[in-house]
Structure formats: structure tokens, C-alpha cells
């Protein structure tokens, strides 16, 4: 309502710039902004390192269940560039053994 966000400019912004613009709005945190980039803006290379599901799945599949720090997850995520959003989605799905019908 204040006009601080310009949806017309979002396509021109890189991921970090758009996250910064969104987080500037009261009530929007980094995780929410990252989910917005992944699911609304369909950005292909978002790695939400603070997401509990991603952290759990990465620990389970890459560390034998041992927790990972955000820095360790960022380092692991470098392997998945430029498709870290898809890697995140696959790791989320790996936690749920029941197939979802869309």
C-alpha cells in the first residue's frame, strides 16, 4: 500500500536485491522472501538455508543425520547451481515417503 514495492521491477532484480526489497517490508523475513522467489517468481537458484525441512533432509542424505550449519549447507549447495531451488524441492520431497498427487 505504501508503494515501496514495485512488482514491475522484480524481473530486473537479482535474487538478493529482491529479497532485500521484500524484507524491508514489516512482517516479511528472509525465509518468506525466499519462498516467494521460489514459488511465485519461479526463481531457479534459491537456497533457503534456514528452512528446517531443507536442513533436515540435507543432514539425513549428506551427513548421516548429523546437523549441518548454514555455511556447510551453502557449501553443499554450490554443487547444485544454478538449480538450487529444484534441489531444495527434491530434498523436501525426500523427507515424505508418501507420493503426492497433483
Query: What DSSP string describes the chain?
Result: --S---GGGGGGS-HHHHHHHHHTSTT--HHHHHHHHHHTS--S----TT-HHHHHHHHHHHSTT----HHHHHHHHGGGTT-HHHHHHHHHHHT--SPPP-
More confident residue, 98 or 27: 27
- For residue 45, indicate whether it is catalytic: no
pLDDT > 70: what percent of the chain?
97
Does 24 have pLDDT greater than 90? yes
Confidence of residue 101 (pLDDT cuts 50, 70, 90): confident
35-82 pLDDT tens trace: 999 999 999 999 999 999 999 999 999 999 999 999 999 999 999 999
The catalytic residue among 14, 24, 50, 51 is 51
Amino acid at each position: 500500500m505504501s508503494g515501496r514495492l514495485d512488482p514491475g521491477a522484480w524481473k530486473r532484480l537479482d535474487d538478493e536485491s529482491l529479497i532485500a526489497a521484500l524484507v524491508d517490508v514489516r512482517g516479511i523475513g528472509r525465509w518468506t522472501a525466499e519462498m516467494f522467489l521460489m514459488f511465485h517468481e519461479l526463481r531457479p537458484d534459491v537456497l533457503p538455508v534456514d528452512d528446517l525441512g531443507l536442513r533436515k533432509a540435507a543432514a539425513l542424505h549428506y551427513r548421516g543425520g548429523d546437523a549441518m550449519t548454514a555455511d556447510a549447507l551453502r557449501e553443499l549447495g554450490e554443487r547444485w547451481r544454478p538449480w538450487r531451488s529444484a534441489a531444495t524441492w527434491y530434498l523436501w520431497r525426500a523427507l515424505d515417503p508418501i507420493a503426492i498427487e497433483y
